[in-house]
Amino acid sequence: MTKPTVLILCTGNSCRSHLAEGILRAVAGNILDVQSAGSKPAGYVHPFAVKVMAEIGIDISGHRSKHVNDFLNKSVETIITVCGNADQACPVFPGQVNRHHWGFYDPIKAEGTDEERMDVFRRVRDEIRRVFEAYGAGRIDQHKQSTTNF
């Protein structure tokens, strides 16, 4: 059975969408094909995003920045946008059944020392973690109910 694809979108696909992808994949990657992309990909994953995820035991160092157009011909079951610009620029996917928008502050905009900026990345990571762990747990519950024989 093919796992349903959940596509997490952000404008640059350099930070928030990768944080969410890593967390959701860690929680529900056994039942979901979790991907991320951007409407205007930055071409890199921010090093602070990689560092704050490593702090919680999730390795996103192999992630790469991708364009949403890479997914237009793929079967996408759920779209989740994590920034306002991506929500407004989100294309319609054929057969798409679910769409959610959960906006988060862009930690790349943080100013100050590296440690102060890392603190902002950690705060946003933790906010994303709460939302996506709950979403993943809900999807696991749905999956269990749909595969249980009564």
- What CA–CA distance (Å, rounded) separates 27 from 30? 8
* Amino acid identity at 145: Q
Residue 15 is a catalytic residue: no
10, 23, 68, 79: which is the annotated catalytic residue?
10
Q: What is the pLDDT of residue 146?
A: 86
Question: Residues in the chain, how many?
Answer: 150
Q: What is the pLDDT of residue 72?
A: 85
CB within 8 Å of 59: residues ≥ 6 apart = 22, 53
H/E stretch holding 8: strand 5-10
pTM of the shown model: 0.91
Could you give the percent of the chain with pLDDT greater than 90? 76
Under CATH, which architecture does the 5-147 domain have?
3-Layer(aba) Sandwich (3.40)
Distance between CA atoms of 4 and 98, rounded to whole angstroms?
Answer: 11
Active-site residue 10, yes or no?
yes
Active-site entry in 80, 90, 120, 128: 90
* Active-site residue (options: 20, 26, 50, 83): 83
Question: Which of 47-51, 109-113, 145-149 shows the lowest mean pLDDT across its residues?
Answer: 145-149
